Amino acid sequence: MIPRYSLPAMAALFTDEARLARWLEVEVLATEAWAGLGVVPAADARAVRDRAPVVDADFVARVDERERVTDHDVAAFVDVVQGAVGPPAGKWVHYGLTSSDVVDTALSMGLAAAGDLLIEASSALVAVLKARAVEFRSTPMVGRTHGMHAEPTTFGAKLALWCLQADRDRDRLRRARAAVAVGKLSGAVGTYSNIDPSVETDVCRSLHLTPVPATQVIARDRHAEYLYACASVGATVELIATEIRHLQRTEVGEAEEGFKLGQKGSSAMPHKRNPIKSEQLSGLARVLRGNLHAGLEDVALWHERDISHSSVERIILPDSSLLAYYVLVRACELIERLVVKQDRMIENLDRSHGLVFSQPVLLSLVAGGLTRDEAYRIVQDNAMRAWAERVSFRALLEADERVTVASHLLDEAFDLDRSLRHVGRVFDALESVD
């Protein structure tokens, strides 16, 4: 992932040093587990731990240099580690293991740590959405369907629904973290033919991973689930960002991204305040969805293993982790700094000359004795005229002799408070979100 979208906390998990350090910890723990069984001399196991090389840039360079000979990254890594430990203890490094035992278990360590960061960032987004939903709970605005004025709602209700969806994303992240927080040290084709199952148990316990049955590789549906959780985060953030982009349009002007001192919206037009963060987040969501597709392609492998998934995962798992984290953190900042134009919301609500109350008027006419189709035609005729002539919808209804309902029923139909009287229902659901 390019540095522009890499935040330090997540990026630190996917450096070459971090990856090889995880490999080394798996190897050392496996040697210690063998020692517990009496296979590896205890002194040799201690020597492996004590003489294990520091995984730094120099170590990575030595592994890379060795790989140019072995043309196998894990074999190169093992050679360098064994050389650093020295004889006789070095010979026990990688004893009974196959490459996937190390790579897959270490990958799970990294993804579990990444999952923790994603859940933390997701919780922050949920919290800020909830706080701002409560802040604007009673702020009326027009609800839109197909991009057109429909009926009144509140901006708080919109935020509350976003919060509930973000909370579902957090649940998906928790499940995905559990799905990938697994390990296997069962050897070639996964039959424990050259390794005692207790070695797997001990290593996974030390790494806080759950040992799982596997072929030579951990099943990739787990990683696809993780990628789906990341893509789902992106989709939710895109939903929010797309709405903000629409609300910030000049013709709408109901909300806008925070604009900091010294910021420039356009290199050419000084008046511009563009929704650039929302647009950026919308674009990154597309990358997350694309990575999910690649991850699903990785599920079907030949027989007990092949490595067609490996090259793909070296790209998409770090990138999706980094991007999902980035969009969560930036979305949280976006909502925190969002400028809400409450007066403009009321102004836009009134722009349709009362047409947003057409449904309660329709229901009043039906309750007054008209058939639904008769009532619909009367309301539609007056609504179209109100829009075309830019006149009061209610005034036209009152002048229409076909409308015979009592005036107080029209008062009720055009009452904004009546339209919003049950909006608190969404906030009842929000109470259980923490």
**With 80 as the cut, is the pLDDT of residue 1 above it?**
no
Q: What is the mean pLDDT of the segment spanning 49-73?
A: 97
- Predicted local confidence at residue 270, as pLDDT: 87
The separation between CA 424 and the C-alpha centre of its own chain, rounded to angstroms, equals 27
- Predicted local confidence at residue 266, as pLDDT: 83
Binned at pLDDT 50, 70 and 90, residue 272 comes out as confident
Q: What is the mean pLDDT of the segment spanning 256-278?
A: 88
- Cα distances from 293 to residues 110, 228, 306, 307, 332, in angstroms, run 21, 9, 19, 17, 26
Binned at pLDDT 50, 70 and 90, residue 264 comes out as confident
Query: How far from each other are the two terminal CA atoms of the chain, in whole angstroms?
Result: 32
| Region of 257 on the Ramachandran plot (φ > 0 left; ψ -120 to 50 alpha; else beta) | beta
- Cβ within 8 Å of residue 232, ≥6 positions away: 169, 172
Binned at pLDDT 50, 70 and 90, residue 252 comes out as very high
Does domain 355-413 fall into CATH 1.10.3720.10?
no
pTM: 0.95
- Predicted local confidence at residue 77, as pLDDT: 98
- Predicted local confidence at residue 265, as pLDDT: 84
Cα separation, 330 vs 115, whole angstroms: 17
CB count within 10 Å of CB 110 equals 19
Cα separation, 300 vs 179, whole angstroms: 18
pLDDT digits (tens, 9 = 90+) for 390-429: 999 999 999 999 998 988 999 999 999 999 999 999 999 9
Active-site residues: which are they? 146, 266
Cα separation, 253 vs 245, whole angstroms: 10
Cα separation, 200 vs 150, whole angstroms: 60
Q: Which fold has domain 1-95?
A: Fumarase C; Chain B, domain 1 (1.10.275)
Asked if 365 contacts 403 with a C-beta cutoff of 8 angstroms, the reply is yes
CB count within 10 Å of CB 432 equals 8
Cα separation, 339 vs 259, whole angstroms: 9
Cα separation, 62 vs 265, whole angstroms: 47
Q: Which residue ranges make up each domain of the chain?
A: 1-95, 97-346, 355-413
- Cα distances from 180 to residues 26, 105, 165, 174, 240, in angstroms, run 16, 9, 23, 10, 28
- Cα distances from 418 to residues 20, 32, 84, 145, 415, in angstroms, run 63, 70, 77, 20, 5
- Predicted local confidence at residue 107, as pLDDT: 98
Q: What angle do CA 19, 281, 6 make, to 5 degrees?
A: 25
Binned at pLDDT 50, 70 and 90, residue 58 comes out as very high
Helix H, strand E, coil C: the string for the chain is: CCHHHCCHHHHHHHCHHHHHHHHHHHHHHHHHHHHHCCCCCHHHHHHHHHHCCCCCHHHHHHHHHHHHHHCCHHHHHHHHHHHHHCCCHHHHCCCCCCHHHHHHHHHHHHHHHHHHHHHHHHHHHHHHHHHHHHHCCCCEEEEEECCEEEEEEEHHHHHHHHHHHHHHHHHHHHHHHHHHCEECCCCHHHCCCCCCHHHHHHHHHHHCCEECCCCCCCCCHHHHHHHHHHHHHHHHHHHHHHHHHHHHCCCCCCEECCCCCCCCCCCCCCCCCCCHHHHHHHHHHHHHHHHHHHHHHCCCCCCCCCCHHHHHHHHHHHHHHHHHHHHHHHHHHHHHHCEECHHHHHHHHHCCCCHHHHHHHHHHHHHCCCCHHHHHHHHHHHHHHHHHHCCCHHHHHHHCCCCCCCHHHHHHHCCHHHHCCCCHHHHHHHCCCC
| Region of 10 on the Ramachandran plot (φ > 0 left; ψ -120 to 50 alpha; else beta) | alpha
**With 90 as the cut, is the pLDDT of residue 311 above it?**
yes
- CATH code for the structural domain at 97-346: 1.20.200.10
Asked if 380 contacts 355 with a C-beta cutoff of 8 angstroms, the reply is no
